[in-house]
Amino acid sequence: MTQGKLSLKNEVSLYLFLTFSFSSIFYYWISVSDNGWLTFGLMWCPGIASIITYLLINKTIKGFHFGFGKISYLFFSFLIPILILFIVYGIIWVTELGSFKGFESNFITKLSFIPMMLLILEGSFYSGRSALGEELGWRGYLTPRLLEKYSPNQVSLLVGIIWSVWHFPLILTGNYGTDTPVFFQLVCFTLMLTGNTYIYTWFRIKSGSLWTGCLIHTSHNLFIFHVFNDLTMSNEITPYFIDETGVIFAIYGLVLILLFQKLGWDWPGDLKRYITS
């Protein structure tokens, strides 16, 4: 991405101001209505804000890098959330924090292979069209822009916190998460999402494409909300451990943060080669 006339601080401040200003409209309407299109609109606020910001400063959106990059990264970016969910929910099932109801209990996993794959493709389309709105902002614009000045670890931590705070109004109004104390949900969700952001950043740099983030986001939302939660039978303590606002995912996120901060990654030496078009 090219640097415009504004300083990085002012540019990012403008982007965040637009993102939260647009989002505030949807925060309110979601709190008083259950129309699913409102969530779709909210998820596109970061993307619309990023496009406006970049057009105002650079008069183009070429810096978002819409190319697909290495296909192998696209493939693995879709599979990684499924593997993570099997581990997280597997712990919940094995420890009886929640019971496994069986694959026949879910409308996707009860199907034979070909119909199941077709339904996953359809679900990915609907999940992906919403995820793309967020990813245009978080991985298309904000992550590569910050990487021009800060290290991948710093960027992952900062973007993860911003992304988490962006969800807070939904949790505070009871439109996201489980039936547990709000403060508990906020802490667990922030640890989960911030830790996950390191993976998004890794794929963004390695692939040179925003589509890896879109696929991670698509796969995560599709399988956690429409498969794994459905496969789990709750008891009185399950809400404290399940879902994105539960303890198990919080521990997973914290472990990722500590590992990546302590051990780092095999980051490419020339970051600009991977984040610019």
Residue 6's pLDDT band, with cuts at 50, 70 and 90, is: confident
Q: Where are the domains positioned within the chain?
A: 63-275
Phi, psi of 269 (to 5 degrees): -65, -40
Residue 70's pLDDT band, with cuts at 50, 70 and 90, is: confident
**What radius of gyration, in Å, describes the C-alpha atoms of the chain?**
19
Q: What is the pLDDT of residue 1?
A: 53
The answer to whether residues 262 and 188 touch, using CB atoms and an 8 Å cutoff, is no
Of 68, 216, 71, 62, residue with least CA distance to 138: 216
Percentage of the chain surpassing pLDDT 70?
94
CB neighbourhood size of 166 (10 A): 21
Q: What is the pLDDT of residue 276?
A: 52
Q: Is the pLDDT of residue 4 over 60?
A: no
Q: What is the pLDDT of residue 3?
A: 54
| Predicted TM-score (pTM) of this structure | 0.92
Span 92-122, pLDDT tens digits: 999 999 999 999 999 999 999 999 999 999 9
Q: What does the block give as tokens for 23? A: 């989002």
- Give the mean model confidence (pLDDT) for residues 196-200: 97
In a 3-state reduction of DSSP, which class is residue 230? coil
Mean pLDDT of the chain: 92
DSSP-assigned states of every residue in 54-112? HHHHHS--GGG--S---HHHHHHHHHHHHHHHHHHHHHHHHTTSSEE--GGGSTTTTS-
DSSP label at residue 238: G
Residue with tokens 């990546």: 260
Q: Is the pLDDT of residue 277 over 50?
A: no
